[in-house]
Amino acid sequence: MKSSRVELVRILSRRFPEHVVRAFSAVPRELFVPPEYREYAYADTALPTKNGQTISQPSVIAEMLTLAELRPGLRVLEIGTGSGYTAALTYEITRAPVVTVEYDPELCAEARERLKALGYNEILVVCGDGGEGYPPRAPYDRIVIHAAVPEIPEPLAEQLVDGGVVVAPVGSEHSQILEKYIKKNGELVLVRRGSPVVFVPLRGRYGFKF
């Protein structure tokens, strides 16, 4: 199925707020997917990137960015850069520096190049274990985890401001629920459960134990 960015934006606008949908009109997803999948770039589905990883489904990303209550000026830490697509969408909403961490060195280097080529100079792509967060730029107003986690990694909770929001797919390796937490008096409180989803698992120290 071939579909256009305009069509995708029209579909998303039925379910998601305008500030989120606008980001999808601004970012060319076709430049983030491998060339062989380019004709599917605007279908509402996940697509393979490299090394067994994926670029997430647009409506799932839209739900996460909506739950995260992004707005201009907020400082966001993103875990799981992948192609860099969600980092670009995040920046289009906040227009403030975004830090994004990717575990796979090859994906990390490619995303860094791609975002630079597109002029996203305020997105810092860090190669490493996102479960550890990125202390040099902490604290963050929002943290969005784009890989499945058994629970929110402790370092991330620590690097969030009080009153800040974390959104993540939480569950098992095979299925998760999008969850939203708010940090209150130093503790993360679950405030909302969204759609069931399937994300690739977080790797590294805070991933699933095999």
Binding site for ligand SAH (CB under 6 A): 49, 53-56, 79-80, 82-83, 85-86, 101-104, 107, 129-131, 146-147, 200, 202-204
Whether 4 is catalytic is no
Catalytic residue among 56, 59, 172, 195: 56
Residue 203: other Cβ atoms inside 10 A: 15
Return the number of the residue (88 or 185) whose C-beta is nearest ligand SAH.
88
The minimum distance between CB 153 and ligand SAH, in angstroms, equals: 9
For residues 190 and 210, give the distance between their C-alpha atoms in angstroms, rounded to a whole number: 26
Return the number of the residue (163 or 204) whose C-beta is nearest ligand SAH.
204
Return the number of the residue (160 or 189) whose C-beta is nearest ligand SAH.
160
The minimum distance between CB 164 and ligand SAH, in angstroms, equals: 19
Return the number of the residue (74 or 147) whose C-beta is nearest ligand SAH.
147
65: helix, strand or coil: helix
By CB atoms closer than 10 A (0-12, 13-18, 19+), residue 46 is: middle
Per the rule left: phi > 0, alpha: psi between -120 and 50, beta: everything else, 194 is: beta
The minimum distance between CB 57 and ligand SAH, in angstroms, equals: 10
For residues 152 and 181, give the distance between their C-alpha atoms in angstroms, rounded to a whole number: 9
Q: How does strand 187-197 pair with strand 176-184?
A: antiparallel
Return the number of the residue (12 or 55) whose C-beta is nearest ligand SAH.
55
For residues 74 and 116, give the distance between their C-alpha atoms in angstroms, rounded to a whole number: 21
Q: How many residues does the chain have?
A: 210
Per the CB < 8 A criterion, the answer to whether 115 and 125 are in contact is yes
Q: Which of 171, 125, 130 is nearest to 153 (CA)?
A: 130
Q: Which residues are catalytic?
A: 56
